[in-house]
Amino acid sequence: MKYHVYVIELSRQVFTKNTKFRNANPQYNGVLECLYVGMTSKTPQERLLQHKTGSRNRKGYKLSSSIVLKYGMFLRPSLYQHLKPTSRSEALLMEKELTLVLKRRRYAVWSN
């Protein structure tokens, strides 16, 4: 199975209204966007839909991030389209690396 790393732009309200997000991004200065970085075995479009509809799996577990459910706006393919689908273990590493790269570029980022 192949996994995709993806980026969703979040409303800037997440920074002012979500303490956990704010504490995870002390470098944020209000200039750039707030983002969510994730990975999925689905397409990024399918995964965004899961987040935004608050989907649950067969056992009733939430499939959506509460931050994306509440503040997610749209995909940002220009920030992830250079990443090719890969194995789960590689995608986990890519997700962490992309999160760090984006934070260094002064984006405010949430990732699992």
Q: To the nearest whole percent, how much of the chain has pLDDT over 90?
A: 72
- Give burial (CB, 10 Å; 0-12/13-18/19+) of 82: exposed
At 22-62, the pLDDT tens digits run 899 987 776 679 999 999 999 999 999 999 887 777 777 77
More confident: 60 or 84: 84
Q: Give the predicted TM-score (pTM) of the model.
A: 0.92
> Cα separation of 49 and 39, whole Å?
14
What average pLDDT is seen over the chain?
91
More confident: 60 or 86: 86
